[in-house]
């Protein structure tokens, strides 16, 4: 499998916040979820990758070539959905498209029309009339109608209801079905990623904590529940994080075999992406 994006030693300081030496890569044909709690550094990382902010150090390569050597080429091969704020509300969907399309040498009008049809949108609708979910679908139609190979999205499901979130996830799954297409999607709402992500990159306090195939990651970790009496100086270190109540506890571990041996009455469940995210959140840089 080819890496389509490689980030090495990426550093950036913004105010009091710092991205520390980030390194990770995205594999072709996958939906990769970029997860982290609010303020972990997701948007800053995406902006650096897209050249919307200047990095302090590090290398970024798309499709095997350094970004600086092939700016035009990679712009044509990438689709971006950063937020919903960059449309002119008074324009129709077709008029706004005509503003954006000339920026891409491989823009495909017929493909754009097919996307609008599929998403239930009409070219003569005013942008101001779109609901939040329709706006997001429109943003995706605009981002992928120049045959982009990699779709980069920052918090696309934020503020959307569960039905629309599901529809969006289906759109992304359809998109990666086509050969060579990939998605890199940041989110702090990890339940969507439970369903669709192939790989996950977890950022916490400006550091990459995990970068792995989703199923391997979920198999490797366990959500452990049991009686507090079994917790002691020997068993506590088996947990990445531990939540104790009056009698019981629940904790995330990546040492399932040792937990089975040492905490014989504990229940071990497969965690969700959200439980992994919460288990690691706030641990970096302590």
Query: Residues interacting with ligand ATP, by CB under 6 A?
Result: 14-15, 17, 36, 38-44, 188
Among residues 149 and 204, whose Cβ is nearest to ligand ATP? Answer: 204
Among residues 50 and 111, whose Cβ is nearest to ligand ATP? Answer: 50
Among residues 145 and 190, whose Cβ is nearest to ligand ATP? Answer: 190
Cβ burial 133-150 (10 Å sphere, 16+ → b, else e): bbbbbbbbbbbbbbebbb
| Owner of token pair 């996307």 | 115
The CB-of-158 to ligand ATP minimum distance in angstroms stands at 8
The CB-of-47 to ligand ATP minimum distance in angstroms stands at 8
Among residues 44 and 253, whose Cβ is nearest to ligand ATP? Answer: 44
Residue 102: φ, ψ to 5°? -60, -15
CA distances from 278 to 1, 208, 223 (A): 30, 15, 12
Among residues 206 and 222, whose Cβ is nearest to ligand ATP? Answer: 206
Residue 49, H or E segment: helix 42-49
From the number of C-beta atoms within 10 Å of its C-beta (0-12, 13-18, 19+), residue 179 rates as exposed
The CB-of-9 to ligand ATP minimum distance in angstroms stands at 18
The CB-of-56 to ligand ATP minimum distance in angstroms stands at 14
CA distances from 7 to 17, 47, 101, 146, 277 (A): 19, 13, 28, 24, 21
Among residues 44 and 145, whose Cβ is nearest to ligand ATP? Answer: 44
Residue 7: φ, ψ to 5°? -115, 125
Looking only at the bridges linking them, the beta strands covering 267-269 and 150-154 are: unpaired
Q: For the chain, how many residues are written? A: 286
The CB-of-49 to ligand ATP minimum distance in angstroms stands at 12
Cβ burial 100-113 (10 Å sphere, 16+ → b, else e): beeebeebeeeebe
The CB-of-193 to ligand ATP minimum distance in angstroms stands at 14
The CB-of-19 to ligand ATP minimum distance in angstroms stands at 8
Among residues 45 and 145, whose Cβ is nearest to ligand ATP? Answer: 45
The CB-of-34 to ligand ATP minimum distance in angstroms stands at 9
* Sheet with 199-204, side-by-side order of all strands: 78-81, 150-154, 182-187, 31-35, 199-204, 207-213
Among residues 105 and 191, whose Cβ is nearest to ligand ATP? Answer: 191
The CA radius of gyration of the chain, in Å to the nearest whole number, is: 21
């Amino acid at each position: 499998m080819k890496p389509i994006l490689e980030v090495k030693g990426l550093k950036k300081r913004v105010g009091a916040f710092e991205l520390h030496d980030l390194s990770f890569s995205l594999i072709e044909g996958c939906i990769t979820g970029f997860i982290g709690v609010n303020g972990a550094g997701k948007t800053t990382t995406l902006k650096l990758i897209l050249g919307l902010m200047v990095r302090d150090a590090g290398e970024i390569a798309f499709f095997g070539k350094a970004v600086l050597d092939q700016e035009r080429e990679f712009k044509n091969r990438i689709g971006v959905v950063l937020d919903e704020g960059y449309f002119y509300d008074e324009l129709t969907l077709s008029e706004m498209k005509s503003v954006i399309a000339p920026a891409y040498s491989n823009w495909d009008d017929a493909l754009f029309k097919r996307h609008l049809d599929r998403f239930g949108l009409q070219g003569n609708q005013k942008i101001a009339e779109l609901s939040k979910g329709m706006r997001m679908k429109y943003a995706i139609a605009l981002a992928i109608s120049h045959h982009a190979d990699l779709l980069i999205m920052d918090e696309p499901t934020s503020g959307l209801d569960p039905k629309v979130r599901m529809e969006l996830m289906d759109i992304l799954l359809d998109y990666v079905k086509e050969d060579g297409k990939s998605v890199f999607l940041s989110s702090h709402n990890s339940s969507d990623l439970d369903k669709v992500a192939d790989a996950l990159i977890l950022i916490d306090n400006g550091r990459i904590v995990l970068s792995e195939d989703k199923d391997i990651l979920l198999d490797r970790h366990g959500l452990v529940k049991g009686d507090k009496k079994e917790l002691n100086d020997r068993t506590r270190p088996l947990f990445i994080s531990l939540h104790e109540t009056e009698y019981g506890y629940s904790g995330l571990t990546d040492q399932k075999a040792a937990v089975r041996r040492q905490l014989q009455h504990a229940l071990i469940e497969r965690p969700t992406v959200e439980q992994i995210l919460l288990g690691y959140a706030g641990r970096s840089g302590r």
